[in-house]
């Protein structure tokens, strides 16, 4: 065992020990807004995607925005939200927000980089605050596990992961078609996201992280790292969506789009966790940022009356999946936001999935896009047998806020979104190590790779942040 690996394993063991003895946060009873009340919402992460979440939650008419928080309140991308809510109290540190305004808050929205989802969510839940957190739930497998356990402990707290298509047409159609036996005996799913990614122009022969640059005056770079102990020198390629490119901060294309593509199949086909994950293609693999192209195979076992199923994930401009005969045109739902490159560039195949059952094959897009039976002749033959699909009573944002009022149940609570997010964590581990991982679904451990198993936990948190790792 080399020194770096020995040092990592030692740090991981120390992290587990710290989590075991860390003090718990004070538990508080959640408050549910009355029928004629709006939900008092604090918003943590107010620029870029975080700002979009705030505007969508506010547009429901069900929320009062009572606090705004961001590690860089002076950044250009925060200004639209600050102008929209000029008289709302502002904070740079989420812990100060909770300390000073905890009694005035019912719920929080969390729209920050993946590596910061976990501590903010854990703090909010322990204080009895309902949580809307962007997808994926967290960066590491263990963080998601702890978030699920916290949701069970604080079982009156409403939780929702922000895969907004999970409240749209595809959700209700998929459920109705499974219930009616239209979607059945599925043995394979192809999931594909072949649009340009932020790192596609970078050099995969990189030997170190990018060089240090001056930290913007308004940015708290130390706090940006959240619970990460091993801090990085500031570089513009770590912020404003660029964090998604790096294993240390983000979850790549899989974590970004997987929750919009395989979410309904994962839930309604009762997939749970895979028993094997293999990265079979990793073009431009390096130790720092995600591959230019990836193929990842997830193997799920037989479940009750459902057969074993493989999901094969394809990303990268040159890594399109096999397309079945009669596929037709790749459609794109006009409601789907552009990829995190900032613009939707022309691609040969739009993000989506192909679902292979014993008797029928389906194609679908991402987010709320509905499925179609292919080829078209088969779709026409089946038209009279298709069940009526109910309309969504609320979009994802209204669903969360109505749940905070006790009027609905969230459609992507941590009990549903957690195992899905853990699938992504396992996939990213297979990418990072460019290997095959064998996974014990009951014990939730990787059995064939010691380093990968330690990475399920990740490195230890920095001093002062250990409390979040104890439920």
The architecture of the domain spanning 169-392 is: 2-Layer Sandwich (3.30)
Spatial distance between the Cα atoms of 68 and 42, rounded to a whole number of angstroms: 6
Where are the chain's structural domains? Answer: 169-392
Cβ-based neighbours of 272, under 8 Å, separated by 6 or more = 300, 303, 419, 441
Residue with tokens 């193997």: 299
Quote the tokens at residue 14: 């120390």
**Cβ-contact 160, 131 below 8 angstroms:** yes
Query: Per-residue pLDDT for the chain (471 aa), expressed as one digit of tens each?
Result: 444 444 444 444 444 433 433 334 556 778 888 778 999 999 999 999 999 999 999 999 999 999 999 999 999 999 999 999 999 999 999 999 999 999 999 999 999 999 999 999 999 999 999 999 999 999 999 999 999 999 999 999 999 999 999 999 999 999 999 999 999 999 999 999 999 999 999 999 999 999 999 999 999 999 999 999 999 999 999 999 999 999 999 999 999 999 999 999 999 999 999 999 999 999 999 999 999 999 999 999 999 999 999 999 999 999 999 999 899 876 555 555 555 554 444 457 899 999 999 999 999 999 999 999 999 999 999 999 999 999 999 999 999 999 999 999 999 999 999 999 999 999 999 999 999 999 999 999 999 999 999 999 988 999 999 999 999
> Element (H or E) spanning 147, and its range?
helix 141-153
Q: How far is CA 224 from the centre of its chain?
A: 19
Sheet architecture: strand order including 276-283: 372-374, 361-364, 352-357, 186-193, 309-315, 293-300, 276-283, 436-440, 445-446
């Amino acid at each position: 065992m080399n020194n770096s690996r020995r040092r990592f394993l030692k740090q991981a063991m120390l992290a587990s020990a710290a989590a075991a003895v860390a003090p718990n946060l004070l538990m508080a009873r959640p408050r549910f807004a009355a029928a004629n009340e709006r939900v008092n919402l604090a918003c943590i992460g107010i620029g870029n995607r975080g700002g979009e979440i705030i505007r969508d939650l506010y547009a429901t008419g069900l929320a009062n925005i009572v606090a705004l928080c961001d590690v860089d309140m002076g950044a250009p991308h925060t200004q639209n939200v600050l102008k929209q809510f000029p008289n709302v109290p502002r904070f740079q540190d989420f812990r100060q927000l909770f300390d000073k305004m905890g009694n005035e808050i019912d719920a929080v929205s969390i729209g920050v980089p993946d590596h910061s989802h976990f501590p903010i969510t854990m703090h909010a839940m322990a204080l009895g605050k309902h949580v809307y957190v962007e997808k994926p739930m967290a960066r590491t497998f263990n963080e998601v596990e702890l978030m699920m356990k916290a949701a069970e402990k604080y079982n009156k707290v409403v939780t929702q992961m922000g895969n907004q298509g999970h409240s749209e047409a595809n959700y209700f159609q998929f459920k109705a078609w499974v219930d009616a036996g239209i979607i059945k005996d599925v043995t394979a799913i192809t999931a594909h996201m072949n649009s340009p990614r932020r790192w596609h122009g970078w050099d995969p022969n990189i030997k170190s992280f990018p060089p240090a640059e001056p930290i913007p005056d308004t940015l708290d770079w130390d706090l940006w790292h959240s619970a990460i102990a091993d801090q990085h020198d500031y570089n513009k390629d770590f912020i404003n969506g660029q964090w998604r490119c790096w294993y240390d901060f983000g979850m790549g294309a899989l974590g970004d789009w997987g929750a919009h593509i395989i979410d309904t199949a994962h839930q309604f086909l009762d997939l749970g966790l895979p028993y094997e994950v293999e990265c079979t293609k990793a073009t431009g693999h390096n130790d720092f940022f995600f591959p230019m192209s990836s193929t990842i195979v997830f193997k799920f076992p037989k479940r009750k009356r459902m057969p074993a199923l493989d999901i094969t994930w394809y990303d990268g401009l040159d890594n399109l999946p096999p397309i079945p005969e009669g596929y037709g045109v790749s459609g794109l739902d006009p409601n789907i936001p552009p990829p995190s490159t900032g613009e939707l560039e022309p691609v040969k195949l739009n993000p989506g999935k192909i679902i292979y059952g014993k008797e029928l094959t389906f194609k679908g897009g991402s987010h709320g896009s509905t499925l179609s039976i292919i080829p078209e002749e088969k779709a026409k033959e089946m038209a009279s047998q298709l069940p009526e699909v109910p309309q969504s009573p609320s979009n994802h944002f209204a669903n969360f806020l109505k749940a905070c009022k006790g009027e609905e149940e969230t459609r992507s609570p941590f009990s549903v979104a957690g195992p899905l997010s853990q699938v992504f964590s396992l996939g990213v581990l297979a990418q990072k190590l460019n290997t095959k991982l064998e996974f014990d679904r009951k014990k939730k451990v990787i059995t064939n790779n010691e380093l990968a198993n330690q990475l399920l936990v990740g490195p230890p948190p920095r001093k002062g942040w250990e409390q979040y790792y104890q439920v």
